[in-house]
Amino acid sequence: MTLTIFAFFSSELNSQIDILKHSLDQQAASLVEKEREAVKRVQAAREEEWQKLHQTENEKYSGTPPKGHLINQDNLNNQITK
């Protein structure tokens, strides 16, 4: 009888272990996917900042003011000659 009870608990524990292993695998896969998404978001933010910096540098060296800038080139030239 004790052997039957032991076999039942052993089987029950093995089932619980299998369920927990499966849950752990799913959580690990989910974590890997979230890490990939975070890396993609960081990379996208870096790319956006790089593009903004590149645009600013181009505008700086081309002599055109940035978009939305209040001083246009004619006003700037008028202020310099005064």
Side-chain half-sphere of 21: how many Cα atoms within 13 Å? 6
Q: Output the pLDDT for position 9.
A: 73
Structure confidence at residue 33 (pLDDT): 98
Q: Which pLDDT score, from 0 to 100, does residue 60 have? A: 83
* Domain segments of the chain as ranges: 26-62
d(CA 56, CA 50): 10
pLDDT for position 23: 97
Q: How would you write the pLDDT of the chain (82 residues) with one tens digit per residue?
A: 565 666 667 888 999 999 999 999 999 999 999 999 999 999 999 999 999 999 998 888 886 655 655 555 666 566 555 5
CA torsion through residues 69, 75, 79, 81, sign: positive
Tokens 């800038």 — which residue? 69
pLDDT of residue 67: 61
Q: How many CB atoms lie within 10 A of CB 20?
A: 10
